[in-house]
Chain A
Amino acid sequence: MRKIIEKLSDLPNWLFVSLIFPLLALGFGEKTISILRELDIPRVWTDEAMKTWELPNPKPEYSPQPVSEEYYYAMAERTIYRSYPVYHPDYEPEGYWEWLQSLEPEVVWDPSKFITEEDWIKAGEMLFDHPIDTLGAILTNDLVRNPDFYDYVEMPLTPEGIMPFSRWVVTGKGRVRVGNLSCGMCHTRVMPDGSLIKGAQGNWAGDKASVFFATEEGFEPDNDLVRSMGFLMNALFGSPWSDGDPHGKLVSQGFDAIVKAFQSVPIGTFGRQGTSILFAPQAPDLIGVKDRKYLDHGGLGQHRGIEDMMRYIAMNQTMDILNFYGDFSPLGIPRERLISGRPIMFAGTHDRYSDEQLYALAKYVYSLTPPENPNKPSALSEKGKIIFAEQGCVTCHTPPLFTNNKLTPAEGFEIPEDHYEKYDIFDVSVGTDPNYTFNTRRSTGYYKIPSLKGLWYRGPYLHDGSISQLEDFFNHERLHEGWSPKPIKGHEFGMYLSEGDKKALVAYLLTL
């Protein structure tokens, strides 16, 4: 052995170097690229990472406790079938429905074919629109084939009559199901001209849609339905440790009160699981989210790299419904029920995205760009730009991102000392409604300082969508009783500017 080593040592160095050339040649082959690519995909759900990526609840003992790495990876990976557009019944091409029935299911997810970055982004876009539920979490086949439903929710449509918030999924021949809970369901916007902005703040009445059944003539809830509604409320919004337990109180007020709460959610906000139907959060604009340091309105998830984005997508796509908060389980299950390999049947909890799927989704979200802004700079907007600086807006909404990427405490939140080291804190409250970040499962005690980019295509504004138009930010009447539907507190800037200055400021904001 020693002799062999000695002989090898005598060989010239260039000979060893030359051995690498065939490997380099192989390096440009598809297979090797594929191997290298796989190496880039982070393992998302590790016990270690899940401990620290989320901020704690203001009552730390109720901070989210996600399922274990072992449980998570024992879940089946999602099967992604080809999906098809949903038309308003009056616009559906003749024979479309029958054609859908004739189709065979087609699995369309095949990462072995993804070579370039573009391939991953394209695959991510497909996943973005792909529903994770076909069991009727919100929309059912009957609903989307009922023209009255479209009228009830004032459903925005594309010029072709497509309802872009959902897709038909063919899971078996003749088994055509309308899908729910795709990313696109909340993050797709139909503009007044019918054009679509994917990734933008969604604009359809998803929560109102959930209770369409209760508006049908002669409807009377039976006991089973009332009980189910109570369960659903707890699963989606229960946070009994919150001061005054607002969701528990709502359930105790009865079925009609719950229906009314669903109907009152402003378009552009959604009562997503873990949030609230009483103070539903604005559907975030995902365009530009690549540059944000925190995810969720309360900054629940840190965003330090693509793996955090992947974690947030996994969590947001209902994995968090399996969380424990103290001893509270949204689904009312005991801890012992979380057994690896024995999934829990609820929308989005019986299977999971693969890490590759999450990677593709994150890549797509990162690739989103805004459409061309029709509001070009003008003399008025330039005046507004100066006012924007003079009024100190730049301190929080700092160009070029128009956010300083920090967390601002809700009024009354005492910032724990260690947070100053761990997180990016802007330690002044602007006094907006604290309910979302105090009284939900996603509470942190903070609000993320939002970017002002893309204000022209979005709205309503503020974390709770309580401001319907930009002008209202600068109207001091909104602070007082008499403002409909209720006073909007906080963010009291620019309220005493002249009318001309306010117009200039709004003109500038619309150019961002």
Chain B
Amino acid sequence: MDIGYLYIVISPCRSSRNHCVRCENLSFRDEKPNLWKEPKFMALLVFLFIPFILSAQSIKPENPIQFKIKNAGITVDGTISDWEVEVDFDPKKLAQSSIRGKANPESIQTGIKLRDKHLHGREYFHIQKFPFISLESKSFQSKGKNTFVGIFELQIRDVKREVEIPFTLSQTGKQQKFKGEFVIDRLDFGIGEKSLVLSDEVRVIIEF
């Protein structure tokens, strides 16, 4: 079952539980009380995990995802405005950091309504079958002060591919601002077909 963002919240609990299943087995031999059945223990666990959970911030960015594609020699600017991102990024703990995002392609806008409707269709995003585009970090590398490269898994339609996204971070107090830009080949993701006028390459700009 795809539970989306809930996964982030639940997974630490699940991993703890796995661990404690072993404990439980041990305790069975020792005939110790089952802590998992103790409400107080559960409350303590939740309390202990709250800061951890809160560290993954959920953001509904103000700026839409932007994209640019050449059509008949003209650059078409488009946006996807409905998207969310979960960030747990510490430049000093890159191995523990993560960024996950989900975007709703139904919110795509290119300035021509009928074109947007066409992009919803099965030849492009096929929103009825694939209502989300997702992006999930795999690893990060520092490339200098406030400059990073992330390897992400990007899923559009039913195609998952790794993409490398260089991005910058500007941090004011606790507030983090990310900006990244990358290029994909729309045909890699089954977005439309080869065209004499529409380029394959799409430049994507993400800022939050």
Contacts and interface: CB of A to CB of B under 8 A. Distances in A.
A395 B122 contact: no
B190 interface: no
Contacts of A426: 118, 123
Interface in B33-81: 71-74, 76
Contacts of A390: 74
A386 B25 CA distance: 72
Interface string B175-207: 000000000000000000001111000000000
B122 A389 contact: no
Contacts of B118: 395, 426-428
B112 A399 contact: no
Given A389-B72, A392-B110, A427 B121 contact: yes
Q: Which of A392, A427, A430, A493 has the most CB of B within 10 A?
A: A392
Interface string A397-414: 011100000000000000
Q: How large is the interface on A (under 10, 10 to 19, 20 to 34, 35 or more residues)?
A: 10 to 19
A372 B195 CA distance: 28
Nearest to A420: B122
Contact of B74 (A389, A399, A420): A389
A428 B72 contact: no
Interface residues of chain A: helix, strand, loop or mixed (majority): loop
B121 A391 contact: no
A399 B115 contact: no
A391 B111 CA distance: 9
Contact of A399 (B110, B114, B196): B196
A333 interface: no
A427 B73 contact: no
Nearest to A398: B197
Contact of B112 (A388, A392, A400): A392
A425 B123 CA distance: 9
Contacts of B73: 389
Contacts of A36: none
Contacts of B110: 392
A399 B112 CA distance: 19
Nearest to A400: B196
Q: Which of A395, A400, A425, A426 has the most CB of B within 10 A?
A: A395
A427 B122 contact: yes
B26 to A, nearest CB: 55
Contacts of B14: none
A241 to B, nearest CB: 29
Interface in B76-125: 76, 110, 112, 114-115, 117-118, 121-123
A136 B197 CA distance: 49
B121 A428 contact: yes
B196 A389 contact: no
B196 A395 contact: no
B72 A399 contact: yes
A400 B196 CA distance: 8
A398 B123 CA distance: 16
Given A392-B114, A398-B196, A425-B123, 14 more contacts: A392-B71, A392-B110, A394-B71, A394-B198, A395-B115, A395-B198, A400-B196, A426-B123, A427-B121, A427-B122, A428-B114, A428-B118, A428-B121, A430-B114
Interface of A: 386, 388-392, 394-395, 398-400, 420, 425-428, 430, 493
19 contacts: A389-B71, A389-B72, A389-B73, A389-B74, A390-B74, A391-B112, A392-B110, A392-B112, A392-B114, A394-B71, A394-B197, A395-B118, A398-B195, A398-B196, A425-B123, A427-B122, A427-B123, A428-B114, A428-B121
Closest 8 CB pairs of A and B: A389-B72, A394-B72, A389-B74, A427-B121, A392-B112, A428-B118, A392-B115, A394-B197
Interface of B: 71-74, 76, 110, 112, 114-115, 117-118, 121-123, 195-198
